[in-house]
Amino acid sequence: MKTRYIGNFLKVSSLGLGCMGMTHAYGAPISSGQIRNLISKAIDLGYTFFDTAEIYGTASNPHLNEEELGHALAPYRDRIVIGTKFGIHFDMNSSLVNKPLIPDARKDTILKSIDASLKRLRTDHIDIYYQHRQDPHIPVEEVAMVMEALIKDGKILSWGLSEVDAETIRRAHAVCPVSAVQNRYSMMARHYESVFSTLEELNIALVAFSPMANGVLSGAYNANSQFDKNTDYRSSMPQFTEESMKANRTLFSLLNDFANRKNATMGQISLAWMLCKKPWIIPIPGTTKVERLKENAKADEICLSNAEVSAIDKALSEMKMSAVFGGSKIKS
């Protein structure tokens, strides 16, 4: 796979691997053996950038993802980049499948989080440490000061923010330079194009999460797709309903047309569109399947010209499409 840069010094594969779905949000966790196999295949395919978070677990083991990755990534630690996240936990009293998030960016909480993540990930440093969501009670400047101290201590190499606007990015960056912003970005969720000029000006990478709109842009799902109501967020995501599948026909045919033209799959076009847009966008599609790891990696071989990217943007702006999942509720 080709490579890209996060900030000036973190070299990563042009697509990262989103590891959340291996243990969280998309049904029951896959086994440790499956995770190790997936990671080893990802390494063979050239993935060098792995995304996790301290909260990607289950009710019985809230930190399962980091634990599994700690084992699976250990043999490759010296040649990969790990991103993990702090600053939220779930409201376990909620009956929703996608439980509300409770932000907590107090210094003491962060200091406990980093040590626990380092232990679970079996490493002495995190390459990029993101604040998962803003805490309305703690100014981002205070969080930035904690990040500065963690960088000085060598516990993290760089830091980032997730789901943030341009003003928050600037305030944080003024205290301790931000290397990456991890925001939702896909053909169905383009609202964060509003931060592009800020990212470009400040030399901050966009790590695009849910880049395939939780999988729907691959065209692999239809109105009959079934998702477990207790463990799979897709059971309550608006883009997976029967009506949405109908409402998104124009979007699917746009993807299909480009897929035919480029001898690619719809999923690859959804990723190539953002890869070809800016050299500092790094999508992190998630999958639990080796075949899809391969398919997604090949998105970086597809060339869409500036004119083609602009034509897609124009078509997306003009077409009607369904609502798309916008994230779990934040409880303060």
| Active site positions, annotated | 56
- Contact code string over 118-157 relative to ligand NAP, x by CB under 6 A: --------------x-------------------------
**Cβ-based nearer residue to ligand NAP, 29 or 286:** 286
The total number of residues written for the chain in this structure: 332
* Residue 267 found at the interface with ligand NAP (CB under 6 A): yes
CB 251 within 8 A of CB 222: no
Q: Which residue is nearest to ligand NAP (CB)?
A: 18
* Residue 212 found at the interface with ligand NAP (CB under 6 A): yes
Which residue in the set 225, 236, 250, 288 belongs to the binding site for ligand NAP (CB under 6 A)?
288
What are the tokens at 303? 């060339």
* Residue 248 found at the interface with ligand NAP (CB under 6 A): no
**Cβ-based nearer residue to ligand NAP, 192 or 209:** 209
What are the tokens at 36? 């190790």
* Residue 87 found at the interface with ligand NAP (CB under 6 A): no
Beta bridge partners of 232: 26
Which residue in the set 295, 300, 302, 312 belongs to the binding site for ligand NAP (CB under 6 A)?
295
CB 65 within 8 A of CB 20: yes
Alpha carbons 166 and 137: distance in angstroms, whole number: 19
Size of the site for ligand NAP (CB under 6 A): 29
Stretch that binds ligand NAP, among 32-40, 149-157, 212-220, 315-323 (CB under 6 A): 212-220
What are the tokens at 28? 């029951």
Cα 238 off chain centre by: 19
End-to-end CA distance of the chain: 41
* Residue 220 found at the interface with ligand NAP (CB under 6 A): yes
Which residue in the set 209, 240, 273, 280 belongs to the binding site for ligand NAP (CB under 6 A)?
209
Q: What angle do CA 180, 181, 187 make, to 5 degrees?
A: 125
* Residue 37 found at the interface with ligand NAP (CB under 6 A): no
Alpha carbons 289 and 120: distance in angstroms, whole number: 24
For 49, phi then psi, to 5°, come to -130, 120
Q: Parallel, antiparallel, or unpaired: how do β-strands 81-86 and 49-51 relate?
A: parallel
**Cβ-based nearer residue to ligand NAP, 90 or 209:** 209
Where on the chain is the footprint of ligand NAP (CB under 6 A)?
18-21, 26, 51, 132, 162-163, 182, 209-215, 218, 220, 267, 284-289, 292, 295-296
